[in-house]
Amino acid sequence: MTQAVPSPDGLRTVHVIGRYPPPIDGQSLATLSLARLLEQDHDVKQFNMTLTNRALLSSGHSGARQTIQHYLKLKSKLKSRLRDGNPVLWANISSQPSGHWRDLMAVVPCLQPNQPVVAVVHWGNFSRIFTHWSMAASARKLVRRLDRVVVLSRELANQIEAYVPAHKLCVIPNYVPQIASEDEFRIKNENHAASSTIRVLFLSHMIKEKGCYDLLQAIGIATKQGLSLEAHFAGRWNVESDEGRFRSEIERLGLRDTVVVHGPISDRRAVAELHQTADVFALPTLLAHEAQPLAIMEALSAGTPVIVTKLPVLEALVNEEQGASLVPPRDPEAIANALVSLSNKKMWQKKSCAARKHYKAEYSPETVRQAWVDLIKNL
């Protein structure tokens, strides 16, 4: 049995392994945020598994093979790091077949006997590892090795409760630092009250599946109905040609003077400013495996009403009473109607206050940190 080696400063050592920025995306930011959140109470050891040039990966089987090779090269370093036997928070456990076998080859063998391991699931489709023919048997075996499986919402817990014992399954949401102070929130409300133009923010991966084209069409519909809009799209492209296609659609819809395309933004202060100045945040994603997009939580923390797709995992994150307007997938008309509804000052004020209140109650650093402290204490 491996005896955990204590930290010199008396704090319990915790390893947080996973993908850290760069590149910046929801999972890498969530992993970094978790590591920083725990530093007040633990000696946190970060282990970065990011393939930094992953944007240059080949597609399909070739890209999966490159990723597996990268992880296997890290194996000796990870095994050495985990030799102390202290708890491991495994923040990039995969739900995909290639990723699952990568995990079994490159991560599981590095764990010490009886070393506490917590899987932190960032995927809305994690249940597929228990049903897919290539993963089902090994996934059940993997769960026996894990001490806890942490998911981000009760909806996600419901999806895997048949496969993970109740004493191992925990719900702890992501968190984001508060984007706006009380003074900044007050100024945001004052600015909104004085303006006749609604600033709309889309902040995510700039791919069709995230709903950026549906939102663009909705903006075209709403402007034709007389709504004064200023739309900001920020996020990275898969390939350069994607940006050209998106800009062509802006021209086709006659929205050149309405839409601002920022591209990828790595400066978190710039991201905060976009949230603070936005009147509405929109993410009409089509992806059923969305888990808990950090950009939505950032919007809530700034007191920004959100327009999101009516998917169970997103409804578990925020509902109509908590600052959201829920729309069906692939429905620009419904998005436009939501924008029109939020042009009503009283409706906007109600949603804004509800969003801010919901963030403080569920997703603030204090709330989430205590949940993690309690979990680690009981490992």
Do 344 and 372 reside in the same domain of the chain?
no
Report the CATH number that the domain containing residue 137 is assigned in CATH.
3.40.50.2000
pLDDT in tens, the chain (379 residues): 456 766 666 799 999 999 998 877 778 888 999 999 999 999 999 999 887 654 444 445 565 677 778 888 899 999 999 999 999 999 999 998 988 998 999 999 999 999 999 999 988 889 999 999 999 999 999 999 999 999 998 888 999 999 999 999 999 998 888 899 999 999 999 999 999 999 999 999 999 999 999 999 999 999 999 999 999 999 999 888 999 999 999 999 999 999 999 999 989 899 999 999 999 999 999 987 777 888 999 999 999 999 999 998 898 889 999 999 999 999 999 999 999 999 999 999 999 999 999 999 888 888 899 999 999 999 9
* 350 in the same domain as 245: yes
How far, in whole angstroms, is CA 86 from its chain's centroid? 27
The answer to whether position 3 is within a domain reads no
Total residue length of the chain = 379
Residue 170: its H or E element: strand 169-171
- Whether 22 and 169 map to the same domain: the answer is yes
**Looking at the structure, do residues 149 and 186 belong to the same domain, yes or no?**
no
Tally of domains in the chain: 2
Confirm whether 96 is domain-assigned. Answer: yes
69 and 19 share a domain?
yes
* Domain residue limits at 90: 12-175+364-377
pTM over 0.85: no
In a shared domain, residues 203 and 342: yes
Encoding tokens for residue 373? Answer: 């402290």
Peptide bond just before 329 cis, omega within 30 deg: no
Do residue 331 and residue 317 come from a single domain?
yes
What pLDDT score does 55 carry? 45
Q: Does some domain include residue 132?
A: yes
Same-domain pairing of 192 and 261? yes
Phi, psi of 81 (to 5 degrees): -65, -40
The pLDDT value recorded for residue 61 is 59
> Which pLDDT belongs to residue 287?
86
196 in the same domain as 130: no
What's phi and psi for 280, nearest 5 deg? -140, 135
CA distances from 51 to 74, 99, 135, 250 (A): 10, 13, 24, 33
Residues 99 and 197 both lie in one domain = no
Residue 25: the pLDDT is 78
